[in-house]
Structure 1
């Protein structure tokens, strides 16, 4: 059972092929075996010491219900549909009593005092948090090379990056350590590593998942996301986690008619025939689009056309300003959010006894890495009295226009189809000294975050070097169920084979 899905794991538990404890033990064994390799993935920073204990409790709960009869077990599983299923947690999501470092030295020694809402809802459903996954420091990066604890390697080729910032979560799923994992997105940090590692990765509608307990990067952009081997690996956890949360005023319930199905049925051929798909000209003809990525994207378009879908090249000029608008807004919000890490309230403190100013400077200078410092400096520069009206307000104006134009486009088109990233994964160290090249990795993803809509990375093929390439199925707000159904049809293929 090298790699398993959520549904196959649930089936194995039902058939008594495995116990919950054995299932979690297999995940831990996969992690430990990886540590023995010459180039460990570094997907997990820590395996939680009580993971096996939690799994045994799941077995005991299942056994007690079974002893009362089939109906009791059925009722238990209705309340706890993920009973005994392990999952990975990005290191910026709070798990009560566990370390939370955001892959930064400044938070070394910090223990989360409560569960994030997304964690609490999964735990209430019986899922077992296996451990915390590596990431770019404070989720700032596109390759997971900016982690204070070293980069995460790509499971397909370990000399390449896994993508970021949620690279640890993507690698953990792609390598078979867990059937699903949580990440977070501010500008593509779930979809990008999902593309590089060849797994599914969903960025949900802003507000569908509560942000309570998730360390903020850009508050108006941040959203938790899910990785899985199949669309169904995303559908069930997503259904469980979604909905209004008392602790997050930006959270929302799923509107009627947009409920998430699990298992998600594949979109029917008749529904494909009614799809009208937009391909942004700004992405299809983008400078820097890799030839092999473009070729794979063409094959995906052909697949849709063979099923009767209509595809049109659409000109959306405002997309040319999306990457600039995104970084002005994201870095401004990051500078504000990270001001709380001052050596007094959280984590590490560097105090030479020379006053608050010295404590503040030393703590942040030694605690933050180079990329985080770069973004704080730029963010504060943008927000300074001299420039906030020039840059930040203008960026917010561009964002408002992107929201309007994308919303208007979805009144005519069913979805947007585009590559997830202009290139496949790049080699470790290739872009760490070139921040602009790193930032441009997000050029096809940030419009989704700016417009607060939904998008799913779908594994679409591999390059001649064997590196995965993903495409995005993007849709309007609360279109997750349809996007997952489209992906389910793609995953099973026209003849029922796995794509």
Structure 2
């Protein structure tokens, strides 16, 4: 019973069905680990032990009656960006520090519908704006591989929770790399599906044309199980994709039966993503992973993409513009933080927003408002939208000669908490992930090695629209012959 947190989702599912342990026992195991170790990690904003045990008891009834889904009784953690009925949903911000949601986000409800057990809500960069989880109102999250380092962001709490063995799987959101970069820093597998694959209803908006929910797990298989539950059309979300969801788990298991599962697969390698700014050790680990893919039967081909610096500049015009619009609703009147004793309406607005939002959120609101303002709208926002189209076209052209694209997930491994980085230096952490969000493509990160400080390195795989199965199969094939995904950080 002591090593339940090391088991895969499938092993946990089989164990529950074979009555090796109950959902209550499993849930209590994770709650005990959180209680013992999370003071050092700070991955959770809210832990919900009573709710979790209640849901676990209901799951055990379903298991006893033979009405169970594959994930019934398995605990998970939700990023605190997803509205959860009756539970604090803060978005990592003072603005929503006391907000208890009256309803469930669609993905939260889908998880409940199959009997998944909610352990709590994980920390995040405030309103998902950040790459290191240091901008959370509730304090920095620590990377379990080295407590002095960041876990990545904005979904750093979810990543740190899974990497610490506090939950087998967790939800995250990805606007410019917020699942993939923390997965890389924490030695996990994390996938952002195609834009529109998962409903955004009930996910607190940062940049609506970029935001997409996704999953964290130790392996591609773990991610596939949770993604299967979360995906699908939702008439409450106008951007939701109305099509059947493939059975990714079945496809992944079928792919394992092939003699050479990657025979004939072409992996595009863009030279633009391997230039200046990429840490040499990270580059070495990525190249070794690509050699392993060649050994599995895949072929490497050169492709060309928009320079990452251009995608970064485009993103930081468009995403803050959308944030400026989305966050205007937090005005001290309707809900959220309200300043004390305002002298008039202008004072109420000004102080509620300046006291309720942290520095990074204020910075992005100002950037976005500037880009949308009269006189600058055409010069900045409209031009950036045109470049966004060109970036998407570059991806489409690259996919004419390859099945998937492989790049580093991040230019470095996890850096120190409190490192005196400028905002622009922090933004560079997303330089390889942002293009995917501009084009609405699916992408994932998987662990492929460690640097000299024993910090994890992640490989990013990018797929064409709606081809999550190719990414999951590619990652799983690699994980069948390597063991980086099995390594876990040791907690004191």
What does residue 68 of structure 1 align with? none
What does residue 448 of structure 2 align with? 460
What does residue 115 of structure 1 align with? 104
The aligned length equals: 481
Q: Pick closer, same or farther for the CA change 1:475–1:441 going to 2, 3 Å.
A: same
Which consecutive residues of structure 1, in runs of 5 or more, have no partner in the other structure? Answer: 66-72
What does residue 12 of structure 2 align with? 9
> 2:272–2:307: 8 Å Cα contact kept in structure 1?
no
**What does 1:172-251 align with in structure 2 at a 5 Å threshold?**
172-251=161-240
> 1:319–1:402: 8 Å Cα contact kept in structure 2?
no
What does residue 270 of structure 2 align with? 280
> 1:269–1:307: 8 Å Cα contact kept in structure 2?
no
Distance 1:353 1:328 in 2: 33
Runs of 4+ in structure 1 displaced over 3 angstroms? 253-256, 266-271, 317-320, 494-499
| Deviation for aligned residue 1:351 | 4.0
| Deviation for aligned residue 1:5 | 2.2
Is the deviation greater in 352-361 or in 362-371? Answer: 352-361
Distance 1:470 1:192 in 2: 8
Q: Pick closer, same or farther for the CA change 1:282–1:221 going to 2, 3 Å.
A: same
> 1:352–1:358: 8 Å Cα contact kept in structure 2?
no
Is the deviation greater in 137-146 or in 400-409? Answer: 400-409
**What does 1:381-460 align with in structure 2 at a 5 Å threshold?**
381-431=370-420, 433-460=421-448
Distance 1:149 1:428 in 2: 15
Distance 1:207 1:338 in 2: 22
Q: Are 2:477 and 1:476 equivalent residues in the alignment?
A: no
What does residue 55 of structure 1 align with? 56
Distance 1:319 1:373 in 2: 25
Is the deviation greater in 344-353 or in 108-117? Answer: 344-353
Q: Are 2:81 and 1:92 equivalent residues in the alignment?
A: yes
Measured against aligned partners, the alpha-carbon deviations of 1:13-55 in whole angstroms (never above 9, x if no partner) come to: 122221111111011001011046xxx1001111113111111
When the two chains are superposed, the root-mean-square deviation of aligned CA atoms in Å is 1.8
| Deviation for aligned residue 1:419 | 0.4
What does residue 359 of structure 1 align with? 348
Distance 2:340 2:164 in 1: 42
> 2:132–2:153: 8 Å Cα contact kept in structure 1?
yes
Distance 1:117 1:308 in 2: 40
Which secondary structure does the structure 1 equivalent of 2:159 belong to?
Answer: helix
Which secondary structure does the structure 2 equivalent of 1:46 belong to?
Answer: strand
| Deviation for aligned residue 1:403 | 1.1
Is the deviation greater in 209-218 or in 232-241? Answer: 232-241
What does residue 490 of structure 2 align with? none
What does residue 290 of structure 1 align with? 279
Q: Pick closer, same or farther for the CA change 1:317–1:98 going to 2, 3 Å.
A: closer
Distance 2:12 2:63 in 1: 15
Q: Pick closer, same or farther for the CA change 1:393–1:264 going to 2, 3 Å.
A: same
**What does 1:313-324 align with in structure 2 at a 5 Å threshold?**
313-324=302-313
Distance 1:366 1:456 in 2: 36
| Deviation for aligned residue 1:301 | 1.2
Q: Are 2:30 and 1:42 equivalent residues in the alignment?
A: no
Which consecutive residues of structure 2, in runs of 5 or more, have no partner in the other structure? Answer: 488-492
> 2:187–2:485: 8 Å Cα contact kept in structure 1?
no
| Deviation for aligned residue 1:273 | 2.2
